[in-house]
Structure formats: structure tokens, C-alpha cells
Amino acid sequence: MPQPLRFSKGGKNLPVVVGIGDDASVLRVPKDHEILVTTDFSLEGIHFRQEWHPPESVGHRCLARGLSDVAAMGGEPMAAFLTLALPAKLPQKWVDQFLRGLLKLAKRFNVQLAGGDTAESPHGVMADIVVVGSVPRGRAILRSGAHPGDRIYVTGQLGGSAAALALLRSGKRRFDPKNFSSHFFPEPRIEVGRVLREKRIAMSMTDLSDGLSTDISHLCEESGCGAEIREEAIPRARIDKRREVDLDPALHGGEDYELLFTASSKTRVPNRIAGIKTTEIGEITGGRRLTLRKASGVNVTLEPRGWEHFRS
Amino acid sequence: MPQPLRFSKGGKNLPVVVGIGDDASVLRVPKDHEILVTTDFSLEGIHFRQEWHPPESVGHRCLARGLSDVAAMGGEPMAAFLTLALPAKLPQKWVDQFLRGLLKLAKRFNVQLAGGDTAESPHGVMADIVVVGSVPRGRAILRSGAHPGDRIYVTGQLGGSAAALALLRSGKRRFDPKNFSSHFFPEPRIEVGRVLREKRIAMSMTDLSDGLSTDISHLCEESGCGAEIREEAIPRARIDKRREVDLDPALHGGEDYELLFTASSKTRVPNRIAGIKTTEIGEITGGRRLTLRKASGVNVTLEPRGWEHFRS
């Protein structure tokens, strides 16, 4: 059984007042803030494969999922809690590198690993990450805030993660994870989310974890509205620094961890926010239909066909 | 794959402002309170067995572990988050009854199930419960607050859970879980913990999850002190409403979820708090030794031999 994790003990001047070593962690919440809580499973065989993903990438992606959820609320992350079930035969080195990847990302965002639990897994690595964040009271950006006429935006480029995964699946080539960072080391858009909240730009928001077609359907469902996406407007990722990905991964591919948000047509949305490109890709509509305007000008129904991970 | 869970959507007048249906849950923290976060794994084969534990009991115990951690800080629970990995072949009925047990306990303590995640498990049920609570700022009762001369107390009776488990292991008899409620349906001591905090009785506290000998060692380690426990003073549980359990389960058996706390020798500790008996069982000492005063008056070293669950 690999060694226990190194958790923060906390301290008087930190958001984590008491970390590991007590029955529960104690977190200090900034004045007049609400707290955000998100939990995400990362399962071997479903969310990653040891033969495809270096352990640093698995650790990074595990935490990135939670941080991205906090970003999508316009929040600031405070602390993370990691529950790990590890196979008895897993090398300690794998665990060390997994933690290195996770802690490196945590440090960049000032997030303390404040607690968690470990156990032996009968089969495969299972990690459950909890991220706790905060947001000024009443200011969390919800999925339910979109209105007909709002413009729809995404940050960054889409489809890079799914396209990298397709290459991994094809088994044709060896990878340098550094050239496919959107898949191996996705960047949670915490800073962008904060600006969108502070400047009151975004009326509704979610992150692109399941894929644009599915994530826009969730947002529309919570807002009780429809959407029209312009196919040509979708910013497609370049992978391996070369060609643009096909429409399919950009429209349905998951795990890009970019932000999807809506803004009033009267709001001026900067082309770049915190250094990240924003692109208008469509409009919120009345009714409940999701449509895709093809390059030809024809409108077709947009089916939520988002990412369902790579089941073995 | 069993159906998704029924989570709370939250509401404006609830601690959970936004529950399931968004990227993260939004919780309102009472004014001038800090928050408590605790996470606990419940794994089939380690923490429960389907042939021994009815699903209601598994759900109840899963949440009780987290609530007990909050009780041990003197806190009030606000919300729970459940991450479940379930085998594809698990009957929906098992999941329904598991949730019924969990939600019944949650309702009694006004805890909303505010979010979580589900996935398919390759082998066995794995549940990770996160409980978020709150406590007035600076008032959490830590393990580190014990001082030499403090008296050591426990709530309730000890060893009932381990003794029930020994009967299950022996395979000799059929059980009515109702007669072994300390094992199947342990009661988190939220109300006792609150009184101990409000009346400033407890200087340090932990819950009895691993077993008295191990839990007192954790408390002493965090407080930098030792302890002397009087064997005869340990309140032993009666199981099946009949005989008292042996010393061994009372001293080393885990999962009773009673509270272990220390109070100044000058503090009057009521015999009952919130209807639960309290018993003085020893004293905090200088140095770092843990000793057990036997009935004969001889002092022996107390080894932490707490519960290590029932590995298959």
C-alpha cells in the first residue's frame, strides 16, 4: 500500500485554519462570501489510462476538473480534499508523481490540499477531488441566468483535448504530452471567471467539461431557453501545433475546461480576458430548441452528443 | 448502471442556496462562522459487506461517519456531498435502500444532500461522503487543546459496534440489526458536541471512530501530552440488550462514534448531556506516555490497537 499523502496542517493566516490532523478541516471564509463546493471522480479506465497518461497529468487533471467548476461559478478556490483508492501493487513512484502534478497546479492557484482519505482499491486507481471555493454573496454566476437575446461566448479553442484522445486511441504514434497540453495539462480559467464576475459581464456560465453541445444543453435547461450556435464561429483548437481539429471534437468533444458564458447583447465583451481569447459563437433564443447554423446558412437541430469518456 | 441520485436543488432560505444542477453548489455560511469539511470513504469489503449489512445501514453509516466528525469539532452540519461508484450489476433496489438510509439520517439533522458524482465501479461499492458544517469563528474544538491535569471523558458506552462485528464474523447467528444499533445505525453526537462547545466544557475533542486506544493516542499526539486511562471506568456497551462487552472491544474497538473529550479539572461536567451519559475515564498527563491503570492498581502501557476494519 502506498504511503499516506502529505496534507497541509493549516495555519492562522491561511484560508485553511486547521488542515489534516483533526476530525475535520476548518476553513476561514472571506467576509460576506458564500462558499462553493464541487466534487469530481477520476477513475482509471474511465477518465484516464496508465498507459496513456503520465501520473503528473492524472494528478493535474484530477484537480483541474474541480478548479474549473469553481472558475465556472466566478469563484476563487480555497482548498482541496483528495480521497484516493489505490491498488496495493501500485508503485509509490506513481503516487508521488500523481501528487506532484496535483500539488504543482494547487500551488499555482494558492489552493491548499487540506485533507482527505486513502484506502486500498480492489481494482484501479480512483480519486475523488473536492474543491471548496468562495464567491461574494449572491454573485455566483449560475447556469440559470441566460435570457433570449443574450450572446453566447467561449474562451480559448475547443476540441483539442478530444482530438488528442482520438490520437491516443488510434495507437498510431507516441506523444509528447507537452504538445497536447489542452488534454494532458488543461488550464482552469479561474482568472477569466473572476473578471467575468467582477465586471458583471457574464449572465450565465458553465465550463466545457462534457463538450459544447452537451454543456450548452445543460445551460439552456437550467435557464429555460434555447440556443443557436454558428458552426463557423466555433474556435477550433490546433493540435500538435499544426492543423485545426475537425468540427466534431470542437462541437462534442469534452474536457477542454474552457468557459461557456452568455452576456447581454448590450454588454461589450473584450476580445481577450486575462490573456485568453473570447469568441462569440451564437445567441440564446426563446423556446427550448438547440440549433446549429451550418456554414451553408441552413439551421439543423443540435444534438447533445458530448463526451462520454473512454470506456474500456 | 443504477439511476442517478436525487440531490437537493437548494433554495433561497436554505443553507444550500444552489444544489445540484450547476458546476458547483453554493452554501451560505452563518455570519462569523468558519466552515468545517470532512471526507470519508466507505468501501465494500473494508467498511461493510453486503451479506452482513442491510443497504439502509450502509447508507446510514456512510453519512454518520461524516456527521460524527463535525460533532467532534463542536460544529453544526450544513450539507453533504456523495460520490458513489457502483458495480453495473448492483440492483437499483440496493441503491434506493442505501439512499433511504442515508437521507433518513440527513433529514433528522437538517442536512441537505447537495451534490456529488456517480460512476461505474469495476468491483464493489465505493462511497465517498463529504460533510460541510459550520462553527463560530475560533470556536472549533480541536484535538490539540488538551493539557496535563485535564480529565478525560467519553459519551455513551463503548465496544458495542466491535462486539456486534465479532458476532457477524463468527457467522454463528442471524441478527436483528435493531438490537445492535450501535453498529448498524450509530448515532452521531451532534447535539452533545454543540453543548460541549456552547458551554465551553470541552478543551479538546475527537470522535471514537478508530477505537479508544487509537483515538486517545491521536488526541495526545496533537496536544503533545500523555494520558492515563482507568480500565474500570470505561463504560462498556451491552449488546443484544444483555451482557456487557469484554474490555478488548471497549478499549480497541472502533466505529462507536461516541465523543472523547477533555475538560479542566475545575469544570463541572454534567453526568448527562443532551440525554447522553458522560463518563470520566482518566486524566491527561505530562510526558507522552499512554498508560492503562488496571483494576489491580497496576499501570501498564496502553498500545494503540484500534480498529483496522475487517479486511477480506
Q: How close is the nearest chain B Cα to the Cα of A295, in Å?
A: 31
> Is the reported ipTM for this assembly greater than 0.95?
no
B114 neighbourhood in chain A, CB within 8 Å:
37
Residue A312 banded pLDDT, cuts 50, 70, 90: very low
Q: What is the pLDDT of residue B167?
A: 87
Q: What is the pLDDT of residue B47?
A: 87
The arithmetic mean of pLDDT across residues B96-117, rounded, is 94
E-strand spans in chain B? 16-18, 25-27, 33-43, 76-87, 112-121, 126-136, 151-155, 204-207, 226-230, 259-263, 272-273, 276-285, 290-293, 299-301
Beta-carbon separation of B130 and A24 below 8 A: no
Beta-carbon separation of B144 and A22 below 8 A: yes
Of A26, A37, A207, the CB nearest to B140: A26
Domains of chain B (ranges; CATH) run: 16-136 (3.30.1330.10), 143-301 (3.90.650.10)
For A167, how many CA atoms within 13 A lie in the half-sphere containing its CB? 19
Beta-carbon separation of A36 and B24 below 8 A: yes
Mind listing the pLDDT tens digit for each residue in B26-60?
A: 999 999 999 999 999 888 988 899 989 999 999 99
pLDDT surpasses 80 at A230: yes
Q: What is the pLDDT of residue A263?
A: 98
The arithmetic mean of pLDDT across residues A286-307, rounded, is 93
Buried b (16+ CB within 10 A) or exposed e, A22-47: bbbbbbbbeeebbbbbbbbbbbbbbb
C-beta of residue A115 within 8 angstroms of C-beta of residue A20: yes
Q: What is the pLDDT of residue B178?
A: 78
Mind listing the pLDDT tens digit for each residue in A23-69?
A: 999 999 999 999 999 999 888 988 899 989 999 999 999 999 999 99
pLDDT surpasses 50 at B311: no
**Average pLDDT over chain B, rounded to an integer:** 91
Q: Looking at per-residue confidence, does B126 or B2 come out higher? A: B126
**Average pLDDT over chain A, rounded to an integer:** 91
E-strand spans in B31-170? 33-43, 76-87, 112-121, 126-136, 151-155
- Name the residue in chain B with its Cα closest to that of A39: B116
pLDDT surpasses 50 at A309: no
